[in-house]
Structure 1
């Protein structure tokens, strides 16, 4: 009787594979192509966090967007982030370290290193960062996209990764682009950079 049972189980395997979400590999090495893919402007879409500090921060954050400017030779990323918390816009600029071999990015805050595993789904217009993926008590997953609104298919990628990690949709906190208060500051910064570039080019021409 064992053989028919085994054959029945084997016949179900393709069906089970089709229904279960594809688990991400949390240690895919970061390449120059990976860095190029995440270069530019990104919007925070949603996150699910069990680590108390991250969960608290996500609950207080209404909206956020940021710019990644990678440096291939120094293995760093210049991060310029605009975050709306409460009724104010907070701006911060810092350098992230790129750890190519284990596929992580680190951010230093008050002397503490915060690690995030870079996950690149099939859709190049999105990416995710996972924290403590092996720790059920503290794990988290954050979802980013190149636009403030995402498609149902893009959102499903996030949900699939969540499910695979053992987390639930009920744990997700979503951003609200309508509460974004940082657009005027971003515009001001853009104008300042444009003027600075013009001054630099004028100075070079005079030399």
Structure 2
């Protein structure tokens, strides 16, 4: 009697999965393999944030690329960023701290620690960083890829994660590598 019932329930599981949007899991620990995956050169593609003042600042970014160089023993990542804002080229170099257990990267600014959740979709040529995912008023999501323009499929995954967080495509600000 239990076997037919279990088979019926199991046959409905794909339907449940098809109805739910792909939402990010914010509790995935960071491993050496994930640090190796994000090592190298990355391009900022797009972001959405509800943090006050963020939209104004992000809309001024024409293009940005950066290098991540993880240090497994010191639990840090050397971050070297090159960005164009308006008619200026800017360079930033800093160290990010890695909190492996809770899957976050952090940086200190003005005596305050800022945390970003590292999200690794199935496509190893992309990753995302989520800020304040539990706070609907301040949450944000940034999308990065190995090339200056993300593919349609990569952007769709970004939009899926946005929807899963409760944000909308209309909140997205894109970089423009051509400027």
Normalised by the size of structure 1, how large is the TM-score?
A: 0.78
In our comparison, the structure showing a higher alpha carbon Rg is 1
> Secondary structure of 1:52's match?
coil
C-alpha distance in structure 2 between counterparts of 1:17 and 1:32, whole Å: 30
More helix by share: 1
2:70 aligned with 1:70: yes
* Structure 2 match to 1:106: 106
Query: Alpha-carbon deviation of 1:114?
Result: 1.4
Distance 2:137 2:12 in 1: 33
Cα distance in structure 2, aligned partners of 1:70 and 1:13: 39
Secondary structure of the residue that 1:178 maps to in structure 2? coil
Instruction: State the distance in 2 between where 1:49 and 1:90 align.
Output: 22
List, as ranges, runs of 4+ consecutive aligned residues in structure 1 with deviation greater than 4 Å: 10-13
Q: Distance in 2 between matches of 1:161 and 1:17?
A: 15
Give the drift of 1:57: 2.0
CA distance in 2, matches of 1:90, 1:173: 19
Distance 1:172 1:141 in 2: 9
Give CA-to-partner distance per residue, 1:78-133, whole Å, 9 cap, x none.
00001111111100100000000100000112222111000000000000000000
Match of 1:137 in 2: 137
Q: Which fold has the larger relative contact order, with Cα–Cα distance below 8 Å and residues 6 or more apart in sequence?
A: 2
TM-superposed CA distance for 1:55, in Å, is 2.5
Residues 55-66 of structure 1 aligned to structure 2 (within 5 Å): 55-66=55-66
Q: CA RMSD in A?
A: 1.6
Partner of 1:43: 43
Partner of 1:169: 169
Aligned residues: 170
Aligned to 1:178: 178
**Which residue of 2 is the match for residue 53 of structure 1?**
53
* SS of residue in 2 equivalent to 1:35: helix
TM-score normalised by L of structure 2: 0.90
* SS at 1:92 equivalent: strand
- Aligned partners of 1:65 and 1:48: how far apart in 2? 18
